[in-house]
Structure 1
């Protein structure tokens, strides 16, 4: 039996007005996302991949086209409905960690978990990411890689069905980046969730179940990996 998609994008167009000039960031995008898959959206700066991520996550609305979540069209949802969708269905991980500086690592995680009806324990997550001894430290007392791991733990503490990651290794060295990618892969595999990573780094696509290549606001191609590699096998 064919799997039902969790997210469907249908002929999505996004235009931005800059005075009298209209810029098309997306120009008729179609694809679906399914449970228990890691998808990499690959493209250069300005290709439209961040706009795509924002639309999937309910941060932005399409100019035209439809986005469906579990069969329900959320393209024309109210701000209150989109807030509920983001709170319940989506976790976000960004290149720059956006931790609250006057909260400890554990408190940053707990703050997000309070939004969920089925949260994952902060202490369980700290142990999983190898920072159980750092839970009482403030962000300024953590390295960049440690802060990113806390940011991921914060995002997944809600136990969201969709985890969206915008260049999560962009500010990290190779070794630390591999640690972060391993955590993302573990979340997808152990919890059977959707993880989407947008990046300009083609090597990261080797660990994905599918790679969506984006160019000039269009999907150039979609590649399926029959045998995705483990994060620690990546080289870039």
Structure 2
């Protein structure tokens, strides 16, 4: 199963969501690959740090590069039960390949960053993916800031979602502080004991994305193998 995460702005929200979904999926006992589009990505260094610290669950982190992305994804599907793709923020060929192959597309969005040009650009990219991949499910998720309680920003966010046919807004909101790092190679779902509310938000998003509750494994949240 391929999950692609894409957003309009090059902020940390997209990568944070991708890492947490990958960690939670691997914790269920699945063989998971966290993949990134483009030639270089901070997620690859994050994966190396996670491996060096021997944090469990272990993730296979790979870069898809910029060429033959569709073929690389097809190859990874033979090796892994699940692939979580950090597809970037730019409208590139590799991003389009990831969206076309995905079962679910997750779009983290901050209402304060929504602009009219950006709305149309992202909506056009998502609708194009839906045209070639009609079974794809597109799920927007709000990342909250202090100003998100303003009615005008809420209306702008809903209008953004409605520009993409069949898309829906996840009932859970991710608080902005959940985008902070928890040490090299770690994420909020590795720190559930110190941030239980933020971790539960990610668990709720996991259930929305995969349509099933998280299967708790016996692996420690943090620690050495």
TM-score (norm 1): 0.35
Which structure features the higher share of strand residues? 1
Which of the pair is proportionally richer in helix? 2
